[in-house]
Structure 1
Amino acid sequence: MDDIRQRLPTKPVRFLDKLRQHMRGSGLAYTTERTYIHWIRRFILFHGKRHPDEMGIREVEHFLTHLAEDRDCSVGTQRIVLNAMVYLYGRFLEKPLDGLAFTEAKRPRRLPVVYSRDEIAAILSQLNGVGRLRVQLLYGSGLRSAELLSLRVKDIDFASSNIFVRSGKGNKDRTTMLPQGVVPDLKRQIERVALLHAQDIAEGYGEVYLPDALARKYPSASRETAWQFLFPASRVGPCPRTGVVRRHHLHPTALAKQIRRAVRAAGIHKPARAHAFRHSFATHLLEAGYDLRTIQELLGHADISTTEIYTHVVNRGEKGVQSPIDRLAASPNLIREQSQLYGGLGAIAN
């Protein structure tokens, strides 16, 4: 239940608790909250546990430069840390960081890991049942692993062939496509969830976690099948926020392990990552001729420049750039010359 916000004191006293309360009041996504808190804590430790209110621009510059020069962090990581510092000082402490000057990270953003269609088929052949369905949705809908695991039964709209992604990255909602090929398996999975939910209710459980606002607005929703997670955990457990015993969704590590085993069993030597299926989804749509704007909306990217990275890994195919050596190889004269050359070399060897 790592994605459930920890309960805070009504009147926080500790600095980080006050900061968390401010972030929640500002509407930051929980993933953003955790990331910012992680880097702010590291910032405080880096400066010998000094209070942020006693520090300022010079210390922030020192920390950002340290990450670039001593830790060799990526451009993306340094940007995230900068955002955390800007939030800490600009919004929470109300001490804007004007005129920051620091060494910028040089390690470039790497190209995404993309599986070919044959590799996707090979990976799926190593999976079955609900495990196969999860990977089919990662690839067929372009979902992030956290988005997949957070899906509720009600988020699947068979009538419109849409999947509703709630509070995705950036705390934004969006829709993405529902692959028609998985519809029968999805309906069977929802039936399994309904049966499991009925069993939980019979055993005295049956509630599912809802964010505070929803829990207050719909007090009985937590016991309805529609709000149950599409991919529930195998066991119930106590909620870290309230202590109520509930069934949460499958843990991300279980999904990651399953994917790693399938990729290895398929004999694929690329990194085994759940996010690679999302990259493959975007790349294969681009290869099929879909425009970047459509792909951007399906992926939920705020900036199209993020989507443009897939233009660097797309397979150009017959309509794209052809290597000059491939053009030479297609020449009848070259083929004849190569045949004569190899024949001559064979005679010399003999």
Structure 2
Amino acid sequence: MDVVCITCRRRHLSRRTEEAYRLWIRQYIAFHGRRHPRDVGTAGIVPFVNHLAIGRSVAASTQSQAFNALLFLYRDVLGIEVEHLSGLNRIQRLSRLPVVLTIDEVRRVLSLLDGYPRLLAELLYGTGLRITECITLRVKDVDLEAGAINVRCGKGGKDRTAVLPRVLREPLKRQLLRVAQLHKADLARGRGHAPLPGNLDRKYPTASQSLGWQFLFPSRVVRQCDGTGRWLRWHTAETGLQKAFKQTLALAGIHKHASVHSLRHSFATHLLAGGTDIRTIQLLLGHRNLKTTMIYTHVEQPVRQTTSPLDLL
């Protein structure tokens, strides 16, 4: 597994992708009686992937993730080319529309939140960021004067710029002051380090203690790094916002199967309804393919442009 970790980091895969790949590789090894994947060979991929579909009835996205993890294992980690795999039963991916909240529903949800959860939720709806992109923002990524947020290493390892709502400039300015005060207190205790991506801590030894590299939404606790012995302050966890959002949906009387990610869907749908062109929305969301963004046209246009025949009676 150490080689898997090293290869993931050399390829600059995200931490969550690395964790998912390691999980599937462990399950693959257990499925084949704890034999080494090199001894099993690429022929072992088909029975395992088919078992996920037939024996465990996983979703299409789950099966695809496991399949990609095994391709990564053989091609990138073990250096074994994977030829054509016959007999592979792929689960048909269902075409589902995203859950979108109305403007009034978003307003009700935001009004019932407070503190970190509210500011995070407002950022998600106001910028269209993914929750991981939001909680991993650094102080240096917020440009209040330009009214922009710089997203570093988003999904797919891509950078992009997101629009910063005017109404959030003052709340973010106050948040930056809180982070600066917390960082000053950490430095006074001989700490004040933030984890840096890749090997930047070797290239810039003092950067981890600079204010610019501190997380915009820091964790309440610090943890000691096993490798360096430094006390690091990471970012806040996703679970706090997710729990608060679910509770707020119930309080607001909203019965849609919505999640925090629905704020991103609502951002795109409401922009489209307001006349923003689809190409601009694609850039703001960071989608590689325009087809991914086009799903919001299926959410907005039929509802906005169609009149029920019952209303014509």
TM-score past 0.5 threshold: yes
- Matched residue, 2:203: 217
The one of 168, 171, 174 aligned to 2:160: 174
Conserved? CA contact 1:72–1:105, under 8 Å:
no
- Matched residue, 1:99: 84
TM-score normalized with structure 1 length: 0.84
Q: Where do 1:178-217 residues align within 5 Å?
A: 178-217=164-203
Q: How far apart in 2 are the matches of 1:124 and 1:143?
A: 16
The one of 86, 92, 116 aligned to 2:71: 86
- Matched residue, 1:136: 122
Q: Where do 1:161-310 residues align within 5 Å?
A: 161-239=147-225, 241-310=227-296
Conserved? CA contact 1:233–1:249, under 8 Å:
yes
Instruction: Give ranges in structure 1 of 5+ residues lacking alignment.
Output: 1-15, 329-350
Q: How far apart in 2 are the matches of 1:90 and 1:226?
A: 38
Point out the more displaced range, 94-103 or 172-181: 94-103
Q: How far apart in 2 are the matches of 1:47 and 1:326?
A: 61
Conserved? CA contact 1:74–1:109, under 8 Å:
no
Post-superposition offset of 1:238? 2.1
Which letter does structure 2 place at the counterpart of 1:139? Answer: Y
Q: How far apart in 2 are the matches of 1:266 and 1:175?
A: 32
Which letter does structure 1 place at the counterpart of 2:13? Answer: L
Q: How far apart in 2 are the matches of 1:240 and 1:253?
A: 24
Identity percentage over the alignment?
46
Check 1:135–1:240 CA distance in 2 against 1; reply closer, same or farther (3 A cut).
farther
Q: Could you say what secondary structure the match of 1:313 adopts?
A: helix
Check 1:238–1:85 CA distance in 2 against 1; reply closer, same or farther (3 A cut).
same
Q: How far apart in 2 are the matches of 1:195 and 1:170?
A: 34
Q: How far apart in 1 are the matches of 2:56 and 2:130?
A: 28
Point out the more displaced range, 60-69 or 86-95: 86-95
Conserved? CA contact 2:100–2:265, under 8 Å:
yes
Post-superposition offset of 1:135? 0.6
Post-superposition offset of 1:117? 0.8
- Matched residue, 1:31: 16
Conserved? CA contact 1:238–1:244, under 8 Å:
yes
* Deviations 1:268-320, CA, capped at 9 Å, x for gaps: 112352211111111111222222221111111122222222222226455x1
Which letter does structure 1 place at the counterpart of 2:119? Answer: L
Conserved? CA contact 2:128–2:267, under 8 Å:
yes
- Matched residue, 1:75: 60
Q: How far apart in 1 are the matches of 2:3 and 2:223?
A: 28
Q: Could you say what secondary structure the match of 2:149 adopts?
A: strand
* Deviations 1:32-83, CA, capped at 9 Å, x for gaps: 2222111111111122212110123332111111222222222222222222
Q: How far apart in 2 are the matches of 1:109 and 1:37?
A: 28
Q: How far apart in 1 are the matches of 2:229 and 2:97?
A: 43
Q: Could you say what secondary structure the match of 1:189 adopts?
A: helix
Q: How far apart in 2 are the matches of 1:304 and 1:68?
A: 29
Aligned length: 312
Q: How far apart in 2 are the matches of 1:26 and 1:235?
A: 30
Instruction: Give ranges in structure 2 of 5+ residues lacking alignment.
Output: none
Conserved? CA contact 1:238–1:245, under 8 Å:
yes
Post-superposition offset of 1:156? 0.5
The one of 119, 122, 127 aligned to 2:105: 119
Q: Could you say what secondary structure the match of 1:314 adopts?
A: helix
Which letter does structure 1 place at the counterpart of 2:82? Answer: L
TM-score normalized with structure 2 length: 0.93
Check 1:247–1:158 CA distance in 2 against 1; reply closer, same or farther (3 A cut).
same
Q: How far apart in 2 are the matches of 1:280 and 1:77?
A: 25
Point out the more displaced range, 127-136 or 143-152: 127-136
